[in-house]
Amino acid sequence: MSALQPIPRISLLWLLVAQVLVIIPHLEHLPLWIIALWLVCAGWRVQIYRMRAQYPATWLKSGLTVGIVGGVFLSRGSLIGLDAGVVLLIAAFILKLVEMRSRRDALVLILLGFFAVVTLYLFDDRMTTVVFTLLPVMGLLAALIGLQQSPQQQSPWPPLRLAGGLLAQALPLMVLLFLFFPRFGPLWTLPMPNNQAITGLSDSMAPNDIAELSRSDALAFRASFDGPLPPRSQQYWRALTLDQFEGRRWSQSLEARFARAPQWTPQGEPLKYRIIMEATNKPWLFGLDLASTDLEDAQLMGDFRLERRLPVDQTLVYRVTSWPQALREPQASKPALRRATQLPKDGNPQSRAWAQQLQAQYPAPEKLVQALLQHFNREPFTYTLRPPAVGENSVDDFLFGTRAGFCEHYAGAMAFVLRAAGIPARVVAGYQGGELNPSGQYIQVRQFDAHAWVEYWREGVGWSTVDPTFQVAPDRIQRGLEEAMVGEQSFLENSPLSLLRYRHINWVNQLRLSWEELNYGWQRWVLDYQQGTQLEVLQKWFGRLDSRDLVLSLVGGGGAVLLLVGLWLFKPWRRERDVQQRVYQSFERVLARHGVRRQSGEGARAFAQRAELALPAQLGHIRAFADAFEAQRYGGTPASPKQLQQQVRALRRALPLRWLQRD
């Protein structure tokens, strides 16, 4: 193949299609001007092919490059990092379209396209994304195949069919490598994008915050247990602990963020489970109290939250062991207790006065807590996703005014009153409950399951969990938010297209659960197929394996698959019946007698072009045979060995008589 030979029409067509398919899944994290850039460059390329436009001059290419770099900097604020790097890569992928002049340039563009496809997995590793990327891969393969075909080929479908066949042939080897190739840790990492809009818990809580979050049906995490599932009423998934009250907002104090691991004693039977967590761009993890994890870069912090060193910026899979009955910090330090009783000097005077009355009436902390819970249960409090606004004295307005709120109102008010009564207390933010998928026996926890509850401390007993929301809306804890909001009709009211709103329609719900089960299997068996899972699976199949056995299995299995694929591709048992190949060998022998011998690995087109240079008088006969052979062999033209034989005979007759010999 000559590097200076023009790009065939079919290859250019599939290049344009492949570019569209490569760019589409990237649009979510690309600036909008990329679309305009592609439209301009694609139109320009078509006009160049139609000879109605010229290739860009050097000064114009330089100007475009500077403009693109400036656009990336203005849209991303930097030229360093994953976001900016991918935008630059896609922009280069587009600009190369108008700059390419030869097949070699087209080959560079195709390889650049494959690299652009791979970068998508840094942003999105969902099953649907991976399946979709097969389309641009097929388009790029079709463009690559089109580069090798005769310019006379007009139909775009043969290259696509061949590309699909190549992908199908690669699947067995791909599966084998996935199963057996040893998993290694990354040699280097990239800073992941941190400007993506992710729905989830914040690191602070004010009235209405969780109520707004509970309007989203986005997935937070999935949990699958090794044994029986705990009752729904015990499924309190801690994310973070809020120990600082600032008048309206609860947040995490600076001391708590770096507090040492607390003292605790495991009691009762532990729960073992696996969490598949969606990206949050926050460092905390989810787990039932009291949790420990197998992640090397995560630890239990002083307020019992699990936290990583780095934010969770992509799907994370980890195992957790929890002790629900653990004794949590029965002897706390004085600084920790001071933080747990801290209140602003002013504000909410009615709540403070009421707390003093309760303290005088119920000296024992557990009695006071029960009195508070009974107050929420007996008084006309309302649980609502549409809480009325509260003023500067938010706790007073809620307890003695509106008496209507969501979980953050009840948790925040109870923690405030306990602190005002001298009882160490804090708010815990996380999720409660979740939906059981009966097909896979795992729990799906969504953003509308976000919840807040209270912990209070007693000497010798440690931290105990109480949930005032249960006293007002027990359905919320026992059956979920949807059941609790039946009367109000506010469940996902801003998401009319959410399938979760139609769980009462059996076939719709079954379809949704089946799709979610498929995605769960993808995340568990593909994304989480790391070193530990790989050894576990292979040992289940083949017994105890060490690294040597694994390598031998990989080499042996890979060799067997390659042998089978090679036999299927080359079909040696049919070689003697390949008439086209026999005619081509006759063509080679005719030219060899005139000093033009085909080199090892030399393609049909390159061999013909070299023969044309060596025998210019026979250029027409040589080119006619080469075009016909390529069209029949690779271009989908119906086979006609008789036509090829006639062209070989015509070439033989046209050569000087002294060289003619009978084949």
The radius of gyration computed from the CA coordinates of the chain, to the nearest angstrom, equals: 35
Show Cβ contacts of residue 617 under 8 Å, excluding neighbours closer than 6 positions: 654
Give the closest residue to 230 by CA, choosing from 140, 292, 145, 322. Answer: 322
| Exposure letters 270-289 (e unless 16+ CB within 10 A, then b) | bbebbbbbbbbbbbbbbbbb
Cα–Cα distance measured from residue 393 to residue 350, given in angstroms and rounded to the nearest whole number: 9
The active-site residue out of 26, 29, 409, 451 is 451
State the pairing for strand pair 291-293/244-245: unpaired
The active-site residue out of 209, 289, 396, 407 is 407
CA 230 to each of CA 264, 266, 270, 347, 446: distance values in angstroms, whole numbers, following the listed order: 21, 17, 11, 41, 18
SS3 299: strand
Cα–Cα distance measured from residue 647 to residue 608, given in angstroms and rounded to the nearest whole number: 14
Q: Known catalytic residue: 41?
A: no
The most distant pair of C-alpha atoms in the chain lies apart, rounded to whole Å, by: 125
Q: Which two tokens stand for residue 277?
A: 């967590």
| Exposure letters 315-340 (e unless 16+ CB within 10 A, then b) | bbbbebbbbbebbbbeebeeebeebb
| Exposure letters 182-217 (e unless 16+ CB within 10 A, then b) | eeeeeeeeeebbeeeeebbbeeebbbbbbbebbbbb
Sign (positive/negative) of CA torsion 114, 118, 119, 120? positive
Q: Which two tokens stand for residue 88?
A: 């630059």
Give DSSP secondary structure letters for 114-164: HHHHHHGGGT---HHHHHHTHHHHHHHHHHHHHHTS-TT---SHHHHHHHH
> What are all long-range contacts of 499-508, with beta carbons under 8 Å and residues at least 24 apart?
500/217, 500/446
The active-site residue out of 83, 396, 397, 467 is 467
Please tell me the total number of residues recorded for the chain in this structure.
663
Sign (positive/negative) of CA torsion 582, 588, 594, 600? negative
Cβ proximity of 469 and 383 under 8 Å? yes
Number of H helices, E strands in the chain: 25, 20
Cβ proximity of 286 and 317 under 8 Å? no
Helix pair angle (531-542, 547-570), 10° resolution: 80
Cβ proximity of 456 and 418 under 8 Å? yes
CA 521 to chain centre: 14
Q: Known catalytic residue: 407?
A: yes
Phi, psi torsion values for 596, nearest 5 degrees: -110, 100
Cα–Cα distance measured from residue 214 to residue 216, given in angstroms and rounded to the nearest whole number: 5
Residue labelled with tokens 């011998």: 597
Residues noted as catalytic: 407, 451, 467
